[in-house]
Amino acid sequence: MMEPTLVYDEDVYRQPVLKIIAKIVSYALHPLFIPTYIFLWLTLRFPINFDDITAAGLTFKTISVFLNASFFPAFAVFLLWRLKFIESMAPGDGFHNSRSNHYSSTIHSIQTHESKKRK
């Protein structure tokens, strides 16, 4: 008696709509955006802690969190890639070697923000 074999047919398993949805979710839930999401959640969950800040000030703080936690580290990685310090921006073989660059750029932007806040 012959055992049935499973045949992978690419035409059956192609679902471009699911791939597009997966890409959107992947970009939206990227770890660079998590601090901004947490800050927004904190402002909604604990509004009493932010009642002394005006609406414009809260918007400015949200933009500041986004810039310091998302944009500057992403821009630093982009510069590392364009200046040939890393091979690609995609996680892969060279990613673990350059991970310290990601962390150091994030810590630098946080320290710069904190030092400006104290002045």
Give the mean pLDDT of 4-26. Answer: 73
Is 2 within the bounds of a domain? no
Q: By three-state DSSP, how is residue 12 classified? A: helix
Residue 93 has pLDDT above 60, yes or no: no
Please state, rounded to an integer, the average pLDDT across all residues of the chain. 80
Per the structure, the complete domain to which residue 30 belongs is given by 13-118
Is 106 within the bounds of a domain? yes
Is 6 within the bounds of a domain? no
Q: Residue 5: CB partners within 8 Å, gap ≥ 6?
A: none
Burial of 49: CB neighbours in 10 Å, binned 0-12, 13-18, 19+: exposed
- Give the total number of structural domains in the chain: 1
Residue 40: the pLDDT is 96
Residue 77 has pLDDT above 90, yes or no: no
